[in-house]
Structure 1
Amino acid sequence: MKRRAVQPETSDTASLDFLCEAMMSMRTVEEMRAFLRDLTTPAELEALTDRWRVVPYLLREVAYREIHDRTAVSVTTIGRVARFLVGEQGGYALAAKRLQRKGRWPPSETD
């Protein structure tokens, strides 16, 4: 988290919760895409997309170098995602599991 010279009116946790609620209010992929494009810079959106792009490969236990060759995502980013995939908050695994239940996992190569 970045440091601020002035204390914000709301806590980081409350602000994150508010952002999560806003994201959850999106009803379609198109709405979420528009929200993310408004919320993030092109570089931030690319970083988020790169992280999510490597998850299916990691779940299939594809080697990092092969993932890099297929996706052009850095090996460092792949390693970071791999660490968070098996630990931390469990968000990557939960999202993948829910998409799998909806029949949207793994994504097709053309998505």
Structure 2
Amino acid sequence: MVERGTENAEKDETARLLAALCSLSTPEEARAFLADLCTAREIDDLSQRLAVASMLSAGASYVDVSHATGASSTTVSRVSKCLNGPAGGYRMVLARIGDEA
């Protein structure tokens, strides 16, 4: 069971992280922040998920996406679920970077 104070602190920390991400203005700033925040492996994993979303959005099959990106079938499936889910984060970002299908 999560204590009430802990839950609020986690929400505050998440809000702070979101504000930090929104404060970034350039790819260079984003690269510097990610380099400080994440391991190289975590950045690679995030990059791979975006590549998977881009390929799925363009109509590629799960097998083709997995082979091209090296992502596991579980990762491809999870990204597909998010890509087609209600949050719309992948769709929004892909549209903004010109990678939408």
User: Structure 2: how far apart are the matches of 1:96 and 1:12?
Assistant: 28
Q: Which residue number in structure 2 is paired with residue 90 of structure 1?
A: 88
1:28 aligns with 2:26: yes
SS of match in other structure, 1:54: helix
How far apart are 1:62 and its partner, in Å? 0.7
Letter in 1 for 2:58: R
Change (3 A) 1:88 1:41: farther
Aligned-residue identity in percent? 33
Q: Which ranges in structure 1 are unaligned for 5 or more consecutive residues? A: 107-111
- TM-score for the superposition, normalised by structure 1: 0.77
Bigger helix share: 2
Match of 2:71 among 73, 81, 84: 73
Letter in 1 for 2:83: L
SS of match in other structure, 2:60: coil
Q: Which residue number in structure 2 is paired with residue 109 of structure 1?
A: none
| CA RMSD after TM alignment | 2.2
Q: Which runs of 4+ in 1 moved over 6 A?
A: none
Q: Which ranges in structure 2 are unaligned for 5 or more consecutive residues? A: none
Letter in 2 for 1:83: K
Question: How many correspondences in the alignment?
Answer: 99
- TM-score for the superposition, normalised by structure 2: 0.83
Change (3 A) 1:69 1:16: same
User: Structure 2: how far apart are the matches of 1:58 and 1:38?
Assistant: 30
Q: Which residue number in structure 2 is paired with residue 39 of structure 1?
A: 37
